[in-house]
Amino acid sequence: MIPTFLCTIGAVCLLIALWPFGPYQLTLILARRLYDFPPTPDSKQIVPEPSDESFAICVCAYNEAATIGGKVEDLLRLREASGGDLDILIYVDGATDDTASILEPYRDRIRLVIEGDRRGKTYGMNLLVAQTRASIIMFTDANVRIDPNAIRVLRHYFADSSIGCVCSYLTYVNASQSATAFVGSAYWSFNEWSKGLETATGSVIGADGSLFAIRRCLHRPVPNGLIDDIFVSLGVLLAGYRVVRAPELQAFETHTTDAGDEFHRKVRIASQSIQIHFALWPELRRLDVWHKYKYVGHRLLRWIGGYFLIAAALLFAAAGLLGLGPIRMLTISGAILLLFLAAARARIGLAMTVLNVLLAFTGNVVGVWRGLHGERAITWEPPSSARASHVPAKGQPDERGA
């Protein structure tokens, strides 16, 4: 009786942990069938009226010598494709490599801010936004390449006055390079599908920093140490505007290929994200019930799901000990563990995939723990394995011949 009860509670914990990775999306599909939501934006159907909209794009960089030259050239191509209507702002956060010197020759074509000390990305983005009067602000990362049609796409979407934030469709270009890149790329494809469902059922619950744009009038300065993309985009939602994903707004990036790099990235993001939860929850709790469910069911559970996964494992283990006895339970679990470790050591695909998924959950657990104890990741380190691969500019040949 007790083992059955423990297994039942464990199954509930497991369902909660996995809710953002399947069950949540099914609820959105069901809701879309049952309820008449505002139509999904379509840039082909939105006809922008003549407007005075102006555009700026903000980038923060630290030790990006490997990518920053290609990034600024990509932004200049984007400006040319937009007819010159793009203010380019780049902040260098106390770089110790050649990032600043690589950018110096471009100073007459961009707004360049070089900080001698490390202040962090949040400080840099707040500073850049304050230096432009553009009505539409775009945010992007230093290693991201952007489709030249981005400004045209954004003009179409922002012609809809209900839209306050537009998220890009990000593609990782190096999924085949390692198990870490494969798992991350596969998850991100799933995440893009999820954001499409969220758009079709109201609003996306938070943008990612690869590329997104907001109406400048909706920008809220981000408290230091909080991740800016989620804070800013949630602020737009809280202001009563839609946050939507535009599949035509395409961005391209290389994923980390090293499990250690990805683990540290997960820790940093989870630490900052859980603090955003506490900073914005007094406002988030006043959202309508549907979008509050989407926030909890997707964002919050994704951050804290690892704790429910641990609880499920402990409950299943306790049920096994009571039902099978200690010796049989330890024999079976030990054999499974040894088999898994051997498969991982041999770098068998399935084992490496499972290992990277577990590392992702573990990174969230550690990050949330640190965030709950007040630790803030003010500065950041670019993951070296995500900078080792070249991302060709959209429409340009890949120099590797790939």
In angstroms, the Cα distances linking 83 to 34, 96, 151, 249, 336 are 44, 35, 10, 17, 61
Q: Strand 145-146 relative to strand 242-253: parallel, antiparallel, unpaired?
A: antiparallel
Q: Strand 55-61 relative to strand 145-146: parallel, antiparallel, unpaired?
A: unpaired
- Residue 195 and residue 242 in contact, taking contact as beta carbons nearer than 8 Å: no
So where are the chain's domains?
Answer: 19-53+135-298
pTM: 0.91
Q: What is the pLDDT of residue 391?
A: 62
User: What pairs with residue 241 in β-bridges?
Assistant: none
Q: What is the pLDDT of residue 399?
A: 38
Q: What is the pLDDT of residue 392?
A: 59
Rg of the chain on CA atoms, in Å = 22
Q: Give all strands of the β-sheet with 111-115 in edge-to-edge order.
A: 111-115, 87-93, 55-61, 136-140, 211-215, 163-172, 242-253, 145-146
Q: What is the pLDDT of residue 389?
A: 58
- Residue 157 and residue 39 in contact, taking contact as beta carbons nearer than 8 Å: no
d(CA 188, CA 209): 13
Q: What is the pLDDT of residue 8?
A: 95
- Low-confidence residues in the chain, pLDDT < 50: 395-402
